Amino acid sequence: MDGAGDRHGGPGVEEKVLVVTGAGSGIGRAVARAFLAAGWVVVLAGRRRAALEETAEGAAGARIVPVDVADAEGVASAFREIEGLTGRIDVLFNNAGTFGPRGGADEIDPDEWQRTLQVNLTGTFLCSAQAVRIMKRQQPRGGRIINNGSISAHAPRPLSAAYTASKHAVTGLTRSLDLDGRPYGITCGQIDIGNAATELLAGLGTDGGALQADGTLRPEPSFPVEEVGRAVLMMAELPASATVNSLVLTASGMPFAGRG
């Protein structure tokens, strides 16, 4: 199987194709732009066409496909469109997500819990399922799936039960996809990111002081979101004989690795 890392950017059949969900902002935007700069054809998937067009910045390699990843029929239709546009998928980056409700288990609205799982977990499953179908039948067969997990897949922030549960589940899905993809040359890895400077991070209050396990508020360091784009590109461009199963990328000095 010729993996994404064995193909070279350029016109026609040699173009490498990335599909990135949640491409309208934050990590998805940074990853999409990194791949476009590297010569990939990038399918920008997300709910808001205007935001996707802003990410694309008129790049010749960009293809825009609006989709709500939590809508099974919408996802199936979007991937039919993607296959028609590009003919293949070399890499899928499952990035679309939401932090969801904040609060203890007794404070979370069950509907908000379900919506968080639908976007973060079911959305990842639905997009992966469609990508796997395409990767199995395309020639050359195979490809990569890279899931955006979270530091919360290792250790939660306070009052983040819905988000944390969804990201732990994504880890299980990642491992299952990688195992089941072996006969078809399909690999699946995960990147767990801590404190990339995005709107989502700002919403957690890291600049003014993020809630810590001991109940205090403390400022936390962050790092430029463009570094995530570089990291995902590295994972994608490995030869088919190698894969990154799990990559943890954090801001230097954030409290994840120790007691403060």
Active site residues: 163
Tell me if 140 sits within 8 A of 207, measured CB to CB: no
In the block, which residue shows the tokens 């994504």? Answer: 170
Closest residue by Cα to residue 20 from 72, 74, 64, 80? 64
**Biggest alpha carbon–alpha carbon distance for the chain:** 56
**From the CB of residue 215, how many other CB atoms can be counted at a distance below 10 Å?**
7
